[in-house]
Amino acid sequence: MLESSFVNRRRTTLAASADSIGTLEGEARRRGVPLTAVLAEAVDEKADSIRAARRPRVGIGRSEDGRAAADVTAEPIARPPT
């Protein structure tokens, strides 16, 4: 499965702290995979989180009574205690 995941990969140079690289090297050893596999996974996860964060958060809705959303949200949720 690792072989198929590297079909469309690009090589690049990485600069990171020795501590971070050491942690990832240890993880690669633990899994029995090359360091490049762990690095590729980390880069893919980061890219996925960046893409997810910049997706538009737009919703389409319609009120049944014709009131604007601002009117509805401006109403208090509960009455103050008497």
Q: Percent helix, strand and coil across the chain, each rounded to 5?
A: 50, 0, 50
From the list 51, 39, 38, the residue with the least C-alpha distance to 14 is 39
Q: What pLDDT, in 10s, does the model give residues 10-43?
A: 888 999 999 999 999 999 999 999 999 999 999 9
Q: Could you read off the pLDDT of 36-59 as tens digits, one per residue?
A: 999 999 999 999 998 888 877 666
